[in-house]
Structure 1
Amino acid sequence: MLAASEPASAGLQHATHAADLPGVREVLEVLTFQSGLNTTMVVGGTALLGLAAGVVGVFAMLRKRALMADALSHATLPGITLAFLMAGALGAQGRSLPVLLAGAAVTGILGVLCIQAILRLTRLHEDAAIGIVLSVFFGAGVVGLSYIQANAAAGSAGLTGFIYGQAATMQRGDVLMMGVIAMVALLATIVLFKEFTLTCFNDAFARVDGWPVSLIDLLMMALVVIVTVAGLQAVGLILVIAMLIIPPVAARFWTERLWLLVLVAGVIGAASGYLGSSVSALLPRKPAGAVIVLVAGGLFAVSFLFAPARGVVASAWRRVRLRLRIAEDHVLEMAHENEGQGLSRTQLEDLARLRGWSWPLPTTVRWSLRRRGLMAFADGVATVTERGRLRGAQVSRNHALWEQYLTSYADIAPSHVDWSVDQVEHVLNEELVRELEGRLAARGLAVPGGGGRS
């Protein structure tokens, strides 16, 4: 069942016991929006919220405003309590969601303005200003909640749900509001994409070039305020920051292009809202806001580990392959310098000790050289093949070429080039080799080895 911050549940009526697990039919009904109006609205609304938060969060992350958004979310709590009290004093419905969200927006903006004032008028750093405003505003909100619960208990039930979220109480109007917010965020991103990009990456140049950086910053933070306030009901003021930050950070592992980063962050945010609220609907007594954030965290972990370009696994694999290739090149270079006489087991062991190879590497190098057809091993002697001889000659010439370049062109003493040469000789490509040859030839210096690259 879909749960709010309290044990109360809504949505599916199939599971009635905490240990009940949903069947395949129930899962499909939730995922295809066929499990009832309430569950459909919650799943759809949180997916739209995730989409908007992911898109807007990209620019908050690039602008280094993650902590600012955190302070903003905590600063909304006193606004909620003040709006409730003022509405009650005026004879209006204090529990009206638009009234509460309007109050949240006002104090949220006030919190951001207080941070800006502290930064302008004092020498405090941004982290200190954010810590002050966050703690003071949140403390004021907690005091306000305590006062309301002590003096207006009859009409205050559920106000504390804004701290942790109360997605189960979302109505049709709330979902429509999420849709409007998502559209506003997407349209603003499309219209102001160039301005946001310039401000995030080079605000100093933007100011010199005449762009209204302060206004662009204000529009950017306005979108953050809108998304934050909209997310209060779904995930709560404590967890809404996760929806603004986790999807962009997860998306960053997948791409280097900004437009694609915005797209992927929106998809991850929408997937977090959709899958998190679906899981909350299927499992009894699980708060939707917390589950949504956990799903977002899971998607971040997958991106962190398995993204093909920047993930931990891919990066580690590339380092292993590069280290193996360099070790192979050292063996082939040694065989080339040995004039094709072959290498004994003792020579290979001496090379391994000299290079500081760990235990598995020598065995792996021999296996890789044999598999690639670069060397043959028989009776304790390593014999280089024709392909291996060409590669050994190539590495040896790269070594001499780079060494000659550093000593003759870059004016580096010969005693200081060994480490640099050893790092670079294995990764010189054809284009760079030709450039080095051209520069040396232009200065009338001899090109090591003569001729082109093997």
Structure 2
Amino acid sequence: MTIQEYFELVFTDYTLRTITLGTAVLGAICGMLGSFAVLRKQSLLGDAISHAALPGIAIAFLLTGTKDSNLLLIGALVSGLVGTYWIRGMISKTHLKTDTALGLILSIFFGFGMLLLTFIQKQPNANQAGLDKYLFGQAATLVESDVRLMVIVTAISLFILLLFWKEFKILLFDAEFTQTLGFNTKFIDILITFFIVLAIVLGLQTVGVVLMSAMLLAPAAAARQWTNSLAMMILLAAIFGAFSGVVGTAISASQDNLSTGPVIVLVAAVFVFFSFVFSPGRGLLFREIRFRQNRRDLELKKTLQFMYSIAKNHKDISHPHTVRILNDFRGFTRGTLRKLEKKNWIEIHGQNWSLTTKGYETAENLYNQQKPHD
């Protein structure tokens, strides 16, 4: 099946429509909430929480004996919240830094989860098969109830975001100032973290424990390159995330033996790469263009200043000077003369040049700006 055939069938085929809608909604909520993790410099938090959720899935299965996705996700949510609480406690009550606490919780919880999965695999109960889908995700298992849950959580997250918009915005950019205004910063911080955990847990079934942090961070990182506005960043991140989910699902469905989760993450990575290179404000390409332009402007101004140092010794600023006098000046080229003439800073007459009034005044201003002040 080609990608074109996929999009033709997505409106008529129940399974394809469910999976596509589910990955789109997941991408949108991950992009929206991932923006807060990126701006708060908590990028590793998503990785730690997703790995911390694994033992909760295993324990929920051991307690219930069923593979009901809702029960397993509740176990993942509880385990993720416990891991988050431990991270916050280690940071606030010990001398450990944030990255150390995140690394410890990630490795300890993930190791414990893998131990439990190994134990479950050796049990005679046939229901244990399939739990490993939470490691790398399996979007094909999404059903309508899963998508409905994602939509509900996304709607609630959006409502809370709008309700506490002012508090979230102030906390992101100046936590101490937020506290002096009388806001309960601890409650706001916990609220943001809770919804990030919730988004991660929702994505485990689709993307998996290993790749969930990329789904959370990639759309937000791409959106950050395009804007300085928080509202616009959240909107762009949601669009990038949703588009990554739809396109990734289409690509994986059009090819045999392609897992949906990894393909979605790779599509999101393309957004990140494109944004890092081509965004006008922060992109590497435009940054290099600006750097080269600034360097050329600096060379022009240095040449103009050198000409000024020659011309100011004459009463008549339009006194012609030979071009050969510039040959020993570092950075001088014939192209430099043409650019100076194009800016109307000099006039060229055969092998001679002379400063214009505009060029003389510009060079004099540059000289006065660089002259040390008493």
2:373 aligned with 1:407, yes or no? yes
Corresponding residue number in structure 2 for 1:64: 41
Corresponding residue number in structure 2 for 1:365: 336
Separation in 2, partners of 1:183, 1:139: 34
Fraction of identical pairs, as percent? 32
2:326 aligned with 1:348, yes or no? yes
Amino acid at match of 1:140: F
Corresponding residue number in structure 2 for 1:209: 181
Separation in 2, partners of 1:152, 1:362: 82
Superposed, 1:53-452 pairs within 5 Å as 53-88=30-65, 94-152=66-124, 154-339=126-311, 340-342=318-320, 344-352=322-330, 357=331, 362=333, 364-372=335-343, 374-375=345-346, 381=351, 383-384=353-354, 386=356, 389-401=357-369, 403=371, 406-408=372-374
Separation in 2, partners of 1:254, 1:382: 48
Separation in 1, partners of 2:309, 2:135: 71
TM normalised by structure 1 equals 0.76
Where 2:220 maps in the other structure, the secondary structure is helix
* 8 Å Cα contact 1:207/1:213 also seen in 2: yes
Q: 1:148 Cα shift?
A: 0.8
The alpha-carbon distance between structure 1 residues 164 and 321, as it changes in their structure 2 partners (threshold 3 A), is same
Where 2:209 maps in the other structure, the secondary structure is helix
Corresponding residue number in structure 2 for 1:451: none
The alpha-carbon distance between structure 1 residues 182 and 364, as it changes in their structure 2 partners (threshold 3 A), is farther
* 8 Å Cα contact 2:344/2:359 also seen in 1: no
The alpha-carbon distance between structure 1 residues 394 and 44, as it changes in their structure 2 partners (threshold 3 A), is same
Separation in 1, partners of 2:121, 2:224: 43
Q: 1:375 Cα shift?
A: 4.5
Q: 1:129 Cα shift?
A: 1.2
Amino acid at match of 1:29: E
The alpha-carbon distance between structure 1 residues 383 and 149, as it changes in their structure 2 partners (threshold 3 A), is same
Separation in 1, partners of 2:92, 2:248: 41
Size of the alignment, in residue pairs?
A: 368
* 8 Å Cα contact 2:308/2:363 also seen in 1: no
In the TM superposition, what whole-angstrom CA distance separates every residue of 1:51-84 from its partner, at most 9, and x where no partner exists? 1111111111222222122111100000000001
Q: 1:330 Cα shift?
A: 2.2
Amino acid at match of 2:23: T
Q: 1:152 Cα shift?
A: 4.1
Q: 1:383 Cα shift?
A: 2.2
Amino acid at match of 1:300: V
Q: 1:121 Cα shift?
A: 2.9
* 8 Å Cα contact 1:232/1:240 also seen in 2: yes
Q: 1:252 Cα shift?
A: 1.1
Separation in 1, partners of 2:338, 2:241: 45
Corresponding residue number in structure 1 for 2:8: 29
Amino acid at match of 1:171: V
Separation in 1, partners of 2:139, 2:208: 9
* 8 Å Cα contact 1:333/1:393 also seen in 2: no
Separation in 2, partners of 1:362, 1:157: 73
Separation in 1, partners of 2:301, 2:229: 35
Corresponding residue number in structure 2 for 1:433: none
* 8 Å Cα contact 1:329/1:392 also seen in 2: no
Separation in 2, partners of 1:247, 1:367: 45
The alpha-carbon distance between structure 1 residues 329 and 54, as it changes in their structure 2 partners (threshold 3 A), is same
Unaligned runs of 5+ in 2: 312-317
* 8 Å Cα contact 1:280/1:287 also seen in 2: yes
TM normalised by structure 2 equals 0.92
* 8 Å Cα contact 2:211/2:265 also seen in 1: yes
Separation in 1, partners of 2:100, 2:124: 35
The alpha-carbon distance between structure 1 residues 295 and 378, as it changes in their structure 2 partners (threshold 3 A), is farther
Q: 1:377 Cα shift?
A: 5.4
Separation in 2, partners of 1:258, 1:362: 46
Unaligned runs of 5+ in 1: 1-13, 15-21, 89-93, 409-454
